C-alpha cells in the first residue's frame, strides 16, 4: 500500500486558505481587491461581530456571468493572467486565483453578480468549499459577496481569533489604508449595522487624508513629488511633531497596492535627520507609480511585499524628494498643530504619546531637571499673568528694541521664567525654547565644522587637569579621535589624570571639566551607535546640548535677538537635535480665535 497520497481538493483549499486567510480582515482585503480589479468606484463593506459571523462586500464593478461565477470559485481560476510573461507585468491587485476558493473552503459563502446590460444576475452558494446551489437572481449591476461563520469547519483556527473589537480594528485599519491608496473610489464601512466610516470619492489625496484623519492632520502634511521617466512619486509626509513610536501610520503604495518595505521606510526616516525625538518614526503616505515590468509583486501569498528591479535608484529618489520637501517646508510648530493627531487605539496611548512629547531627552533632562520653574498653582496664576504683562510692556518701551537688527524677521520682546523667549514677527507671536534653539545652533555649527574639518581651537592660558573614573577613561579612549576632531587637545598625565591644553572655541567660557564629564556621562547612559557616523553624531549631539544656553539662564534682549538671528539662518531651525520643537507660533488668526474676535 502506497504511503504517498493525493490530497482531496477541499483539504488542498484549506491549506491554501492558511496562507491567504488569517483572520476576517484577510477576507475583506481579498474581496475588496477583487472589487477594485472589477473597476468598481463604490465599495461597501459590512461586517458583524468583528467579521467572525458575517462579512459582506458590495460593489458596482463589472460583475460576472453565470459561467464565470461557477469558474471563479475553482482553484487557480483567474481573469488576470494567461501566460508566464503576464507574471512579470502584473497591474491588478489580485492574480493568483486563490482568494475565492480559499475563503469558500473555510466558511459558508454566497456570491451574487450581474454584468451591465444583462437582464438578471446569478447566485452561487457554497458550504465548506462545496457548491450547494446555483440560480438566477434579480439585482443591480456589480457583485455582492457574503461570508458567514468564518472557520466554522476549522475550529483549531477559529480559537486563535481575537476579541471582536480587535478583529474589527484590523478591518477598519485596512479600509483606511485602501481608501488612502484609492481616493477616487467611495468606501463605506458598517459594523453591527452602524456606519463607522463613509469616505466619498475625492479628487485628491489630501482631501482623503482629511476624511480619514481629520482636517487639522491634513493641514500638517507636506507634499512630496518626484517625476522620473520610469518612476513617479507623490504623496505627503508629516511635520516632525506628528511622529509616532510605531510604524503604524507609514503607508507605501506601489501602483495602488499597499506594501511593506523596511529599507524605504528607514531611508525616509534618515531624511528627517535630527528632527525627530529619540525612538520616534515619521508619518508618511507615499504613492509610487512604476512600470509593472520593473517590479515583482509575486513574492508573498498575501502580496504585502514587493521587489524592485533597481532598488537603489528608487530609494535614492524617495530620500531626495522627502529631504527636499522638508528643507523647503515651514516646520514651526503652530497652535493649531496641537489638534493634528492620527487616531490611536485607546485614549491611554494618546496620553502616553503626549507624555513622550513633553519628556526631554536624557541629556536635555539633566540640564533642566534641577532648575527652578515658576509654581503655577491656581491661586497664583492671576499674579503670574499680571507680572508677565508688565514685563512684556516694559520690554516694548525699551529704546534698545529699536536698535536691534532691522533685517530680523523675528524680533525679541522678552523672556519668560528665564527659559522661553517671547518674540514677534509680521504673522504674530513666537515662543522660543532658548535651550532647544541654541542646541540646534550649536549642533549645526559643530556638524559643519566636523564635515569641513575646520577646527575652531582655543588654547587654554593655563592647562587644566581632568580626573576621570575608570569607566570615563575607557569611554574617552574609545571616542578620543572624535574629541580631537572637534578641537580638543587632551593628553594623559598619569594614572586617571589628563591635561586639557585646548578646547573648541565655543567652549572657552565653559567649565571644561563639567562639559567633558557631562558628555561622557551622556554617552554612558545613552544608546551605542554601531556606525562611525552614528558615533560622531552622538558626541556632537551631547556636545551641543552641554554647551548650549541653559534652561533657566537669564538673557539680555540683545542676546535673545542674537540667538533668533542665528536660528533663522539654519536649514532646519524648527527642532533641536533630539526632535523637540524650538519654536511655537501663535498667528494673529490664532490670537483672534483665542480672544473670540
Q: For position 378, what pLDDT does the model report?
A: 37
Greater pLDDT, 197 or 13: 197
Q: Which of 141-150, 326-335, 360-369, 587-596 has the lowest mean pLDDT?
A: 360-369
Cα distance between residue 327 and residue 322, in whole Å: 9
398-426 as b/e: b if 16+ CB within 10 A: eeebeebeeeeebbbbbbbebbbbbbeee
Instruction: Look at the alpha carbons of 232, 235, 241, 244 in this order and tell me if their dihedral is positive or negative.
Output: negative
What grid cell was written down for 355?
507624555
Q: For position 97, what pLDDT does the model report?
A: 57
Q: For position 164, what pLDDT does the model report?
A: 94
Cα distance between residue 546 and residue 559, in whole Å: 18
pLDDT, tens digit (0-9, with 9 covering 90-100), for 104-126: 999 999 999 999 999 999 999 99
Q: Whose grid coordinates read 535651550?
A: 435
Residue 379 CB partners (closer than 8 Å, separation 6+): none
pLDDT at position 393 over 90: no
Strands 333-334 and 583-587, sheet pairing: parallel
All structural domains of the chain: 9-199 (3.30.565.10), 205-348 (3.30.230.10), 380-397+405-597 (3.30.1540.20)
pLDDT, tens digit (0-9, with 9 covering 90-100), for 450-459: 777 666 788 8
Q: For position 372, what pLDDT does the model report?
A: 37
| Average pLDDT over every residue of 12-39 | 82
- C-alpha dihedral, 430 to 435 to 441 to 447, nearest 10°: -140
pLDDT at position 209 over 80: yes
Residue 259 CB partners (closer than 8 Å, separation 6+): 252, 253, 297, 303, 304, 305, 306
Q: Which of 140-144, 331-335, 350-354, 496-500 has the lowest mean pLDDT?
A: 350-354
CB-based contact 207:186 (threshold 8 Å): no
Greater pLDDT, 376 or 143: 143
CB-based contact 220:340 (threshold 8 Å): yes
Residues facing residue 251 across a β-bridge? 285
Residue 311 CB partners (closer than 8 Å, separation 6+): 263
Greater pLDDT, 302 or 547: 547
**Rounded to 5, what percent of the chain is helix, strand, coil?**
40, 25, 35
Greater pLDDT, 384 or 9: 9
* Burial category of 454 from C-beta neighbours within 10 Å (exposed 0-12, middle 13-18, buried 19 and up): exposed
CB-based contact 299:307 (threshold 8 Å): yes
pLDDT at position 127 over 90: yes
Cα distance between residue 361 and residue 357, in whole Å: 10
Cα distance between residue 505 and residue 446, in whole Å: 11
| Average pLDDT over every residue of 436-441 | 92
pLDDT at position 443 over 70: yes
179 closest CA partner among 170, 188, 167: 188
Q: How many residues does the chain have?
A: 597
Distances (CA, A) of 406 to 268, 400, 402, 573: 38, 12, 8, 20
364 closest CA partner among 425, 440, 427, 303: 440
The band of 141, judged by pLDDT with boundaries at 50, 70 and 90, is very high
Greater pLDDT, 85 or 477: 477
| Average pLDDT over every residue of 116-140 | 94
CB-based contact 528:349 (threshold 8 Å): no
Instruction: Look at the alpha carbons of 136, 139, 142, 147 in this order and tell me if their dihedral is positive or negative.
Output: negative
Residues facing residue 121 across a β-bridge? 137
CB-based contact 241:581 (threshold 8 Å): yes
Strands 284-290 and 307-308, sheet pairing: unpaired
Q: Which of 41-45, 165-169, 403-407 has the lowest mean pLDDT?
A: 403-407
| Average pLDDT over every residue of 24-52 | 95
CB-based contact 130:101 (threshold 8 Å): no
Greater pLDDT, 262 or 529: 262
Cα distance between residue 252 and residue 180, in whole Å: 10
pLDDT, tens digit (0-9, with 9 covering 90-100), for 330-348: 887 766 665 565 555 433 3
Q: Which of 66-70, 514-518, 548-552 has the lowest mean pLDDT?
A: 514-518
Distances (CA, A) of 239 to 199, 267, 332, 340: 24, 16, 9, 10
Eight-state DSSP code of residue 228: -
- DSSP letter string, 361-427: PHHHHHHHTTS------HHHHHHHHHHHHHHHHHHHH-GGGTTS-TT-SSEEEEEETTTEEEEEETT
276 φ/ψ angles, rounded to the nearest 5 degrees: -110, 145
Cα distance between residue 431 and residue 435, in whole Å: 12
pLDDT at position 236 over 90: yes
CB-based contact 105:17 (threshold 8 Å): yes
**Among residues of the chain, what percentage have pLDDT more than 90?**
38
Cα distance between residue 345 and residue 297, in whole Å: 31
Q: Average pLDDT over the chain, rounded to whole?
A: 80
What grid cell was written down for 524?
554612558
What grid cell was written down for 469?
573614573
- C-alpha dihedral, 469 to 472 to 478 to 484, nearest 10°: -100
Cα distance between residue 53 and residue 304, in whole Å: 26
Amino acid at each position: 500500500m502506497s504511503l504517498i497520497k493525493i490530497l482531496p481538493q477541499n483539504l488542498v483549499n484549506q491549506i491554501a486558505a492558511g496562507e491567504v486567510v488569517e483572520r476576517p480582515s484577510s477576507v475583506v482585503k481579498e474581496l475588496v481587491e477583487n472589487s477594485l480589479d472589477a473597476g468598481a468606484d463604490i465599495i461597501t463593506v459590512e461586517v458583524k461581530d468583528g467579521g467572525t459571523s458575517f462579512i459582506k462586500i458590495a460593489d458596482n464593478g463589472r460583475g460576472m456571468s453565470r459561467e464565470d461565477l461557477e469558474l471563479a470559485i475553482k482553484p487557480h481560476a483567474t481573469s488576470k493572467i494567461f501566460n508566464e510573461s503576464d507574471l512579470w507585468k502584473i497591474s491588478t491587485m489580485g492574480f493568483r486565483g486563490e482568494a475565492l476558493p480559499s475563503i469558500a473552503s473555510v466558511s459558508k459563502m454566497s456570491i451574487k453578480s450581474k454584468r451591465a446590460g444583462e437582464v438578471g444576475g446569478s447566485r452561487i452558494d457554497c458550504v465548506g468549499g462545496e457548491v450547494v446551489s446555483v440560480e438566477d437572481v434579480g439585482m443591480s449591476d456589480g457583485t455582492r459577496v457574503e461570508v458567514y461563520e468564518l472557520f466554522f469547519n476549522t475550529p483549531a483556527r477559529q480559537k486563535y481569533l481575537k476579541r471582536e473589537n480587535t478583529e474589527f480594528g484590523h478591518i477598519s485599519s485596512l479600509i483606511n489604508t485602501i481608501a488612502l491608496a484609492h481616493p477616487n473610489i467611495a468606501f463605506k464601512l458598517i459594523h453591527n449595522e452602524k456606519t463607522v466610516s463613509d469616505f466619498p470619492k475625492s479628487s485628491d489625496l489630501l482631501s482623503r487624508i482629511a476624511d480619514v484623519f481629520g482636517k487639522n492632520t491634513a493641514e500638517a502634511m507636506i507634499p512630496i513629488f518626484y517625476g522620473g521617466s520610469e518612476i513617479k512619486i507623490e504623496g505627503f509626509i508629516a511635520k516632525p511633531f506628528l511622529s509616532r513610536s510605531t510604524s503604524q501610520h507609514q503607508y507605501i503604495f506601489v501602483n495602488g497596492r499597499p506594501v511593506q518595505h523596511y529599507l524605504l521606510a528607514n531611508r525616509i526616516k534618515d531624511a528627517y535627520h535630527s528632527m525627530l525625538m529619540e525612538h520616534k518614526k515619521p508619518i508618511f503616505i507615499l504613492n509610487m507609480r512604476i512600470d509593472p515590468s520593473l517590479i515583482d509583486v509575486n513574492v508573498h501569498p498575501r502580496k504585502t511585499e514587493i521587489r524592485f528591479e533597481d532598488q537603489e535608484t528608487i530609494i535614492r529618489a524617495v530620500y531626495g524628494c522627502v529631504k527636499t520637501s522638508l528643507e523647503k517646508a515651514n516646520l514651526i510648530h503652530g497652535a493649531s498643530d496641537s489638534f493634528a493627531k492620527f487616531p490611536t487605539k485607546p485614549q491611554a496611548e494618546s496620553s502616553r504619546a503626549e507624555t513622550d512629547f513633553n519628556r526631554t531627552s536624557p541629556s536635555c533632562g539633566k540640564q533642566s531637571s534641577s532648575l527652578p520653574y515658576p509654581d503655577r498653582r491656581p491661586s497664583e496664576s492671576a499674579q503670574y499673568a499680571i507680572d508677565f504683562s508688565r514685563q512684556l510692556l516694559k520690554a516694548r518701551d525699551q529704546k534698545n528694541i529699536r536698535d536691534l537688527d532691522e533685517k530680523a524677521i523675528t524680533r525679541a520682546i522678552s523672556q519668560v521664567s528665564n527659559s522661553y523667549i517671547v518674540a514677534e514677527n509680521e504673522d504674530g507671536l513666537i515662543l522660543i525654547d532658548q535651550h532647544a534653539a541654541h542646541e540646534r545652533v550649536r549642533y549645526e555649527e559643530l556638524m559643519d565644522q566636523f564635515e569641513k574639518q575646520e577646527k575652531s581651537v582655543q588654547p587654554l592660558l593655563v592647562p587644566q587637569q581632568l580626573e576621570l573614573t575608570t569607566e570615563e577613561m575607557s569611554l574617552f579612549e574609545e571616542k578620543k579621535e572624535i574629541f580631537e576632531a572637534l578641537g580638543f587637545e587632551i593628553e594623559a598625565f598619569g594614572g586617571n589624570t589628563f591635561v586639557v591644553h585646548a578646547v573648541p572655541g565655543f567652549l572657552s567660557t565653559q567649565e571644561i571639566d563639567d562639559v567633558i564629564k557631562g558628555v561622557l556621562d551622556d554617552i554612558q547612559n545613552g544608546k551605542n551607535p554601531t556606525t562611525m557616523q552614528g558615533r560622531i553624531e552622538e558626541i556632537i549631539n551631547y556636545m551641543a546640548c552641554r554647551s548650549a544656553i541653559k534652561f533657566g539662564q537669564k538673557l539680555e534682549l540683545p542676546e535673545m535677538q542674537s540667538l533668533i538671528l542665528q536660528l533663522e539662518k539654519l536649514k532646519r531651525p524648527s527642532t533641536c537635535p533630539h526632535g523637540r520643537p524650538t519654536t511655537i507660533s501663535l498667528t494673529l488668526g490664532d490670537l483672534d480665535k483665542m480672544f473670540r474676535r
